[in-house]
Structure 1
């Protein structure tokens, strides 16, 4: 009987010691896992921090560029308004209720009035010419009664002649 009890105690001891060694080995693996996990978390944190830093820098630069663009735009607009006040509206503008906010196309003469530059753009020998004064072929024309078209889809700061070829001829000649 003593022998059976000793055997049972020995078996129990072997099982307990064996399990504790296996458990200790598992903890060693778990410790390495957590170390790797900790290292990976640290790398991920650094990556996100660098990414956020780059994003913030890009956003700052973009805001600077945007601010500069709007500052320049406001300056150009101010210069345009100053020139417009200085020269006033053309003599024919009242007859057409024209406020110099858009380009005007004189259909019969293939000529634009460009309020941004304060002059006329006309075809001469197949080339576009600009003149601050009324072109010579329009001097004796009553522009107050001339057939005009206000060009609404060309920005005021762009040259209207650049957009002339984008339209069919019948669009301009209606």
Structure 2
């Protein structure tokens, strides 16, 4: 028999949640942990800049979930959700751009402009959106950085130096993208949002 120690992960919490006798105790412990963490949750939320947008796509839902994860200090979840939000945002803009260019007589061939129809890498979409002015150079760099940080966790080649730092960075970057897009396209006049 081998004397090596094995690492294991055992999770019996679902049993506690199902057991009618243990459930009240688990609920009480969970409630206490949450109450004790409320000051930290509020402090983390206060770190974020406010944003406004009227362009609401699925990416906003992912960002909202990322903000919830951020409040709870679920750093890997923040990186993953913001990575998904950024990709969804890119896909949304790219689809809109593709629809506009197909009817506007852009002189490039469809294949040269968009690449293969079945798969277009995110980097390619970002390059096209930047080239044609759909996104600013700042947003291009922010979205590329989000992708690279997300890839550090989704496709790890080595241990990431600081997941908390990276989570704070990606959420800040994505919220800046949303804010800059709103500021570039819209303004608020007499209490109403209007296009510039």
Q: Normalization by structure 2: what TM-score?
A: 0.26
- Which gives a bigger RCO, structure 1 or 2 (Cα 8 Å, sep 6+)? 2
- Structure with greater proportional strand content: 1
Structure with greater Cα Rg? 1
Q: Normalization by structure 1: what TM-score?
A: 0.28
